[in-house]
Amino acid sequence: MDIKTAITKIVTGQDLSEDEMISVMNQVMEGAATPAQIGSFITGLRIKGETVDEIVGAVKVMREKATFVNSGVDTGSGRVLMDIVGTGGDGSGSFNVSTTTSFVVAAAGIPVAKHGNRAISSNCGSADVLEALGLDLSLNAEQAAECVQTVGIGFLFAPLLHGAMKHAIGPRREIGIRSIFNILGPMTNPAGANVQLTGVFAKELTKTLAEVLVRLGMKRTLVVWGEGNLDELTITGRSYIADGHSGTVSTYTIEPENVGLKRASIANIRGGATPAEAAEQVRAVLGGEAGAKLDMVLLNTGAALF
């Protein structure tokens, strides 16, 4: 299916099949679609609402065109390679929970291939804070893989490993709305992580994205959203979880008190105003400084190791 036909179909409210989405995404990522067509297509999808089939097709193309990172973890034999990642864009301004949690999980002996980018709506995304902590973001796929192999954790900087995304950058920026691309990143880990804790910017996405990841063969996934509009499990209120494994998805909620943690306000988990401040927060939490930020990391670490 060509992208013009796909646009005609979705603007009349019809869904695309997985194969149709694969065809269109290949055109987008190979430069065969114009910026106007890409903008119209992703806007139409957003208005119609993306289906599981459509997201699965898009993820398959992005994974195929990504630069592979060989972590050395044989996921085919059942060994675990984990990613702890959020969509961002939640507007909460929370500190770097998933990034900090990734270090704790790696310290517990689980290899982590942390996939991430610079900030979307916060002052500091995973790439920003890691750069402030001294990480060289220009590491290529082989160097990132070596980090996972030697110290148990590596950072996969999305712009360097998803080169084919360059064709969609302009239209995404110019239309200025959330689109399917905002949710694809966390599902397209270039190292092929098979266990994942994924935070999303909207509660209604939890079950949908868990179904996508299960369809794509994920060994275990928790897709989560926290009250207060956080793309992680939270101690500020109720957390909504879609738990995917063994081909099925179940949903449930937890409160901080259910796991012995004290409820806190959003103000208690606010992130730094600059990457340097955010880096100091990460150091403080990893150094064991008690408080709401440490409790957030404990909650998310527990979920990741669940």
Q: What is the pLDDT of residues 20-66, one digit of tens each?
A: 999 999 999 999 999 999 999 999 999 999 999 999 999 999 999 99
Q: Label residues 264-288 b or e (16+ Cβ within 10 Å = b).
A: bebebbbbbeebeebbebbebbeee
Q: Which of these three, 65, 87, 112, is where a domain ends? A: 65
Binned at pLDDT 50, 70 and 90, residue 121 comes out as low
* CA-based nearest residue to 32, from 43, 24, 40, 21: 24
Residues of the chain above pLDDT 90, percent: 87
Is 163 found in the same domain as 187? yes
Q: What is the mean pLDDT of residues 102-128?
A: 89
Is 179 found in the same domain as 33? no
Q: What is the mean pLDDT of residues 270-293?
A: 95
SS3 call for 151: helix
Strands (DSSP E) found in 117-255: 153-157, 195-199, 220-226, 239-245, 248-254
Report pLDDT for 120. 62
Find the domain containing 96 and state its range.
75-304
Q: What is the mean pLDDT of residues 122-143?
A: 92
**φ/ψ bin of 49: left (φ > 0), alpha (ψ from -120 to 50), beta (otherwise):** left
Q: How far apart are CA 79 and CA 123, in angstroms?
A: 35
Give me the chain's average pLDDT, please: 94
Look at the chain and report how many structural domains it folds into: 2
CATH number at residue 240: 3.40.1030.10
Residue 91 has pLDDT above 70, yes or no: no
Q: Answer whether 280's CB lies under 8 Å from 133's CB.
A: no
Is 49 found in the same domain as 79? no
Say if 70 falls within a structural domain.
no
